[in-house]
Amino acid sequence: MNHAANFVDSIHNESFEDRYLAKKITHHSMIYDHGREKESLNGYWHFGIDQYDTCLRANWYEEVYEDAEGRSNPMDFSFDEWETMKVPSCWNMQKEKYFYYEGSVVYTRTFQYRNRGEERVFIKFGAVNYDAKIFLNREYLGCHKGGSTPFFVEATGLLQKQNRIIVVANNTRKRNHVPTDNTDWFNYGGIYRDVELIRLPETFMKDFTISLVPDSGFSKIRVELEVEGSKRNGWAEVRIDELGIVFPVEVADGKGAAVIDAKPELWSPEHPKLYEVKVAYENDSIREKIGFREIRVSGTDILLNGNKIFLKGISAHEESVLNGKAVTEEEIIENFTLAKEMNCNYMRLAHYPHTEKAAKIADEMGIMLWEEIPVYWAIQFHNEETYQDAENQLTELIKRDRNRASVIIWSVGNENADTDARLKFMSSLAMKAKELDPTRLVSAACLLDHVHHIIDDRLAEYLDVIGANQYYGWYQTDFNNLIKLFENSKPDKPVIITEFGADAKAGHRGTADDKGTEDCQSDIYRKQVQVLEQIPYVKGISPWILYDFRCPRRLHPITQNYYNTKGLLNADKTYKKPAFYVMQDFYKKIRP
C-alpha cells in the first residue's frame, strides 16, 4: 500500500486490528524445546510506547521509507533511534515513567543469522503480557493471546543475513480476556521471559511426553512422541542410561508410543530423584532430566507413590519488588528455600502459569506444585472467544510442563461465581485437562457458600480435588462459622484449603482484634490451623500468601499502600512476620 493511501487508511480504519487478530498463534504451533540447544535473542531492544496503535494502523513493519519514485516518505518512527528496553523485563520496572503504563508498545531489534545446516528455524517467546503481534523482516507472523504461556513462530525461509523482528505487545486489561480486567494483582507488561532462536533438522520431534504409568506398581514408563517433517515413519530411541534402558519406539505416520518396563527410584519432595533421559529420532535429539512419580486420589486421600500425603503448602505470586513478573532463577530458588524453611512440601503457583523455570527448579529442590490458569473472578463465561483463549492457555501450560514431576495439580481457575455458564466453561476446561494429561489431578480454587456455611460448588463433580478459599476471621468476620462449614460439608474427595489469611503490615503491632497488625494475623493463623488439623478430608493447605505483593486495589495508607500485605514475609522477603513461625511449627508437627 503506498504511503498516501496508507495514511488515509491509518486514520479511518477503526477495525485495523481485525486482520492482525485473524492470524492466531496458539498451542498448535508449540514445538518441544526442553533439552534443546537455543540461542538467546534477549538483550536491549528498541522500544516505543504506542498508545494509539499507530504502528499497526500505519503498517510501520513494512518500513516503506520511499515512494515509488524514490522520494522519501515522512516518517513517524525511527526504530533504531528509539530508546532501548531490556528483554526480558517488565517495562513497569525498567523506567519509573512507565510504572503505571497499560497499553500498546512496540519492541524491535535486528539480529544476524547464518544457516548452519538446519532446515527449520523457530523463535520462542517464553511469555509476553497480554497479546503479542509478531513481525519478521516485514512479514506478519501472527498474534498470540495470553500473558503467561510460551509461543513459537516459524522463521524458516524468512531469515536473511540481517534480520528485524518487531513485537507489538499490549497489556490492556479487557473484559473478554483471561484474566479479565479486575484482579487482585499488578498488571505488568512486556516481553518478560526469554526470547530464543531454535534450529532444527527437516524432521524433528514436535512433542514428547514421558511418565510413570499410573497403577503399574511403579514399574512401567510410558513415552509418547510426535514428529514433524517428511520422515514420519521410523524408529526413535529412548535412553535412560542410569536405569540401563535403551528402548526403540516405532513412529508411524508421525506418532509413536511405547510402554517400557522400569523400576526407577520414585521422585518425592524428600527424595527429588531425576534421571537423564535422551531421545533421538533421525537427526534430532532431546536430553532432559525427568522424575518419575505417581499422584492420585482415593476417597478423600491424596496418594504420592502410593503413600497418603498432606500438602504442606503456601501460595505465591510470580513477582519480586525489583523485577516485577520477570523473576530470576535466584528469586525462584529463594521462594522455594523459604517454603522449605517453613517445612513445606508444596506450593500453589497463583493465579497464572509462572515461568517454566519454576517447575524445573521444583523438580530439583523437591517441592510439589499446583499450577493454574487465570480464569479468575468474573470471566466472560458466556463468551466463546474467551473460552477458546482459556482453553488455549491451559493447553499451552500442560504441553509446557507435563514432563515435570513436581507438578501434581492443574487448576482451571479461582473464585468464580457458580453460574450455569461458568459450570459449562470450567467443567469443559477440567475435562480438557484430563484429556491432555490423565496422570495428574485437576482442581480449582472454589468459592464457598458463606450463607449456609458449606462446601457446595457444582464444579466439584468435575474435579479430583476440591480447592477451597476461605477467609474466616478476616473477610468472614465470625471465625466460628469455619467449624460450622466443616460440620455441614461431607465431600467425597480430598479438599485443599487453597487460601486463608489476613493482611498485616510488617512490624505493625497491636491486639488480636486490630486488623492489619501482625498480632491479628498470627492469631487468625493459630485459630485456622487448630481447626484444619482436625478435619479428616482436608489434605492440604496453601495459605495466602508467602510474601506481600503489589496490588492496585489496596489503598489503605497504613497497612497496605498499594500492596496486598497478607504475606508471611514483607515484599522484599527480608522480614518474616510472626505468622510465618505459626505455619513452620504446624507443618513441623503434622505428618509428612
Which residues contact ligand GCU by CB under 6 A? Answer: 184, 351, 414-415, 469, 499, 544, 564, 566
Among 174, 173, 182, 189, smallest CA distance to 553 is for 182
Cis before residue 130, ω within 30 degrees of 0? yes
Q: Which is nearer to ligand GCU, 363 or 457 (CB)?
A: 457
User: CB of residue 408 vs ligand GCU: minimum separation in angstroms?
Assistant: 20
Q: Which is nearer to ligand GCU, 53 or 184 (CB)?
A: 184
**Cβ 108 vs Cβ 50: under 8 Å:** no
Q: Which is nearer to ligand GCU, 430 or 448 (CB)?
A: 448
Distance CA 443, CA 58 (A): 45
Q: Which is nearer to ligand GCU, 121 or 551 (CB)?
A: 551
Among 559, 549, 463, smallest CA distance to 515 is for 559
User: CB of residue 339 vs ligand GCU: minimum separation in angstroms?
Assistant: 18
The residues with which 285 forms a beta bridge, in sequence order, are 280
User: CB of residue 311 vs ligand GCU: minimum separation in angstroms?
Assistant: 17
Across the chain, which distance is largest between two alpha carbons, in Å?
83
User: CB of residue 371 vs ligand GCU: minimum separation in angstroms?
Assistant: 15
Q: Which is nearer to ligand GCU, 149 or 564 (CB)?
A: 564
Q: Which is nearer to ligand GCU, 544 or 580 (CB)?
A: 544
User: CB of residue 475 vs ligand GCU: minimum separation in angstroms?
Assistant: 7
Among 131, 42, 147, smallest CA distance to 87 is for 42
Q: Which is nearer to ligand GCU, 77 or 479 (CB)?
A: 479
Distance CA 2, CA 9 (A): 10
CA atoms lying within 13 Å on the CB side of residue 433: 29
Distance CA 190, CA 107 (A): 9
Q: Which is nearer to ligand GCU, 218 or 425 (CB)?
A: 425
Which amino acid is residue 74, in one-letter code? Answer: P
User: CB of residue 180 vs ligand GCU: minimum separation in angstroms?
Assistant: 13
User: CB of residue 566 vs ligand GCU: minimum separation in angstroms?
Assistant: 5
Q: Which is nearer to ligand GCU, 266 or 447 (CB)?
A: 447
Non-local (6+) Cβ contacts of 395 within 8 A are 26, 27, 432, 436
Q: Which is nearer to ligand GCU, 3 or 453 (CB)?
A: 453
First-last CA distance in the chain: 67
User: CB of residue 99 vs ligand GCU: minimum separation in angstroms?
Assistant: 20
Pairing of strands 563-564, 549-550: antiparallel
Q: Which is nearer to ligand GCU, 184 or 371 (CB)?
A: 184
DSSP string, 478-493: -THHHHHHHHH---SS
User: CB of residue 508 vs ligand GCU: minimum separation in angstroms?
Assistant: 17
Q: Cell match 486489561: residue?
A: 173
User: CB of residue 256 vs ligand GCU: minimum separation in angstroms?
Assistant: 41
User: CB of residue 430 vs ligand GCU: minimum separation in angstroms?
Assistant: 18
Q: Cell match 496486598: residue?
A: 564
Q: Which residue's CB atom is positioned nearest to ligand GCU? A: 184
Helical ranges in 278-419 per DSSP H: 329-341, 356-365, 384-401
User: CB of residue 449 vs ligand GCU: minimum separation in angstroms?
Assistant: 15
User: CB of residue 396 vs ligand GCU: minimum separation in angstroms?
Assistant: 22
Backbone angles phi, psi at 396, to 5 degrees: -65, -40
CA atoms lying within 13 Å on the CB side of residue 241: 5
Helix (H, G, I), strand (E, B) or coil at 79: helix
Helix count and strand count (H, E) for the chain: 11, 33
User: CB of residue 499 vs ligand GCU: minimum separation in angstroms?
Assistant: 5
Q: Which is nearer to ligand GCU, 277 or 375 (CB)?
A: 375
Q: In what order do the strands lie in the sheet with 220-228?
A: 204-212, 220-228, 255-261, 245-252, 234-240, 275-281, 284-290
Buried residues in 408-431 as b, exposed as e (16+ CB within 10 A): bbbbbbbbbeeeeebbebbbbbbe
Helical ranges in 13-49 per DSSP H: 18-21
User: CB of residue 484 vs ligand GCU: minimum separation in angstroms?
Assistant: 20
Q: Which is nearer to ligand GCU, 393 or 414 (CB)?
A: 414
Which amino acid is residue 58, in one-letter code? Answer: A
Q: Cell match 506481600: residue?
A: 548
Non-local (6+) Cβ contacts of 463 within 8 A are 430, 442, 443, 444, 493
Q: Which is nearer to ligand GCU, 170 or 180 (CB)?
A: 180
Strands (E), 402-459: 407-414, 441-446
Among 213, 210, 149, 236, smallest CA distance to 403 is for 210
Distance CA 113, CA 155 (A): 11
Q: Which is nearer to ligand GCU, 268 or 469 (CB)?
A: 469
DSSP string, 218-240: T-EEEEEEEEESS--SEEEEEEE
